[in-house]
Amino acid sequence: MDKIKQQIKDDFPILNQQIHDEPLVYLDSAATSQKPRAVIDGITQYYQTINANTHRSVYTLGQQATDQYEAARVKVAKFINAKLAEEIVFTKGTTDSLNLVAQSFGQSNIQAGDEIVITYMEHHSNLIPWQQLAIQKQAVLKYIKLTEDGQLDMADAEVKITDKTKIVAVAHASNVLGVTNDVKKLGQLAHEHNAVIVVDGAQSVPHFPVDVQDLDADFYAFSGHKMLGPMGIGVLYGKEQLLRAMPPYQYGGEMINFVEEYQSSWADIPLKFEAGTQNVVGAIVLGQAIDYLQSIGMDEIASYEHELVAYALPKLLAIDGLTIYGPKDPNLHNGVISFNIAGLHPHDVATAFDMDGVSVRAGHHCAQPLMKYLGVVATVRASFYLYNTKEDIDKLVQAIIDTKEFFKV
């Protein structure tokens, strides 16, 4: 993918630095992606030339801010092929989006004895809201099992999803196991039982094309900061008829139609769910991040990341004492690779890697039930994105070798 390689140095300023006198190798994009100069400059340009509150002012700057904010909504809708721009709600991020669904749709539709089905691979943001909702409503929380190589057990899904199921919540792609789930099939199962499917798209939207209409997702959540955008901006996609039927999640300015002393009425979707001053610059610059991704092409990005995984997995599997979690087949594994080195704590490994300039994540990755399911306390995680190269992978492999030698394991 020559186009990407040529753009790395120019477009991602943070990557052109040294850590402990070593060139930075950033392998933690599953946590947050780095930002191209176009996004960084977009933030500055907004505050220097447009900054104003949206939907409230008739003066020029206010209208410009509103126009660009709503244009970003349209851009997001087209990016994931939503039917309507009104189906796009701007939030703080994936966590905020999923909590919105749990506290609005969930509180309104879950009763005692109903079932909520999730999986063992869920990030805490797509686990705790449903866990707490089940506790509050005296509902039953059920977990879909995993196969031996860490994929979702679809046979178990068919057993767990029943006529009592009201919500199925699942990650499109795992932030630990490197697997991509068949959410379209899961959605079909949910709909056969008159349940809705809620999809955590934090690890999918940045990495490959997503079409919410083709998936027939009822709700789909993702974060801007994992797809080259700024922190503090996210998206909840929801089908129009579901959003219209849901009560507001928060109350205050902007989300109202009319306010009287003792009662109020609400704005139409999506503003009904966007109380108060929103992260206007975040939404606008998320649109610019989408422009950047589309200038390369999501199919191209997906293909390139697969090339990196196909290069990395055999090299890692060849290292003695290294355990990889998730599928070992590159065709089944996306750009998130979690592993442990026998005899070493993941935090010690990540600290040692940092001395070589290699930035990886170590810990439970906000997936403690998954760690328990796997029989480990934590793992090391390397995650790739469009600005990584095979040379970065070589440096990761060398960091593992150096660490094993240093600790004599």
Write down the pLDDT at residue 57. Answer: 85
Confidence at residue 304, expressed as pLDDT on a 0 to 100 scale? 95
Q: Please, which residues have CB within 8 angstroms of residue 204's CB and are 6 or more apart in sequence?
A: 172, 173, 180, 210, 222
Average pLDDT value for residue range 287-293: 97
Chain length of the chain: 409
pLDDT score for 3:
57
Model confidence at 9: pLDDT above 90: no
pLDDT surpassing 80 at residue 81: yes
Q: What CA–CA distance (Å, rounded) separates 122 from 17?
A: 34
The mean per-residue pLDDT over the stretch 90-111 comes to 98
Q: Summarize the confidence of residues 276-296 as an average pLDDT.
A: 97
Q: In what order do the strands lie in the sheet with 379-383?
A: 322-325, 336-341, 379-383, 361-363
Average pLDDT over every residue of 130-155: 98
CA distances from 305 to 89, 188, 269, 301 (A): 29, 28, 36, 6
Token couple for 188: 């079909």
Nearest-CA neighbor of 285 among 29, 9, 51, 82?
51
Closest by CA position to 315, among listed 386, 382, 385? 382
What backbone phi and psi angles, to 5 degrees, belong to 173? -140, 135
Has residue 129 got a pLDDT over 90?
yes
Which pLDDT does position 6 carry in this prediction? Answer: 63
- Tokens 């900054």 belong to 51
143-155 confidence digits (pLDDT tens): 999 999 999 999 9
Q: At what angle do helices 128-137 and 94-101 cross, to 10 degrees?
A: 20
pLDDT at 10: 82
Q: Residue 224's pLDDT band (boundaries 50, 70, 90)? A: very high
pLDDT bin (cut points 50, 70, 90) of residue 75 is very high
What's the rounded Cα separation, in Å, for the pair 278 and 273?
11
* CA nearest to 282, candidates 46, 12, 3, 13: 46
Mean pLDDT of the chain: 96
Residue appearing with tokens 């008159």? 194
The count of other CB atoms within 10 Å of the CB of residue 60 is 10
Domain with CATH 3.40.640.10 in the chain: 50-294
pLDDT for res 1: 58
Residue at 216: amino acid letter:
D
Give domain 50-294's CATH number out of 3.30.390.50, 3.40.50.300, 1.10.10.10, 3.40.640.10. 3.40.640.10
Structure tokens at 294: 């589309």
Convert the pLDDT of each residue in 13-72 to its tens digit.
999 999 999 999 999 999 999 999 999 999 999 999 999 999 988 999 999 999 999 999
Confidence of residue 195 (pLDDT cuts 50, 70, 90): very high
According to CATH, where is 3.90.1150.10 located in the chain?
2-28+297-407
Residue 134 among the catalytic residues:
no
Contact 179, 150 (CB under 8 A): yes
Give the pLDDT confidence score for residue 56 in this predicted structure. 82
pLDDT bin (cut points 50, 70, 90) of residue 108 is very high
DSSP string spanning 243-285?
A: HHHSPPSS-SSSSEEEE-SS-EEEPPTTGGG--SS--HHHHHH
Catalytic residue among 366, 368, 389, 394: 366
Torsion of CA 296, 316, 397, 356, to 10 degrees: 90
pLDDT (0 to 100) of residue 2: 61
What is 2-28+297-407's CATH superfamily?
A: Aspartate Aminotransferase, domain 1 (3.90.1150.10)
pLDDT at 263: 96
Whole-number Å distance between alpha carbons of 26 and 31: 11
pLDDT band at residue 390 under the 50/70/90 scheme: very high
Question: How far is the C-alpha of 226 from the C-alpha of 207, rounded, in Å?
Answer: 9
Element (H, E) at 235: strand 234-238
The yes-or-no verdict on residue 372 having pLDDT over 80 is yes
Cα separations in angstroms, 403 against 212, 246, 353, 372 = 43, 53, 7, 26
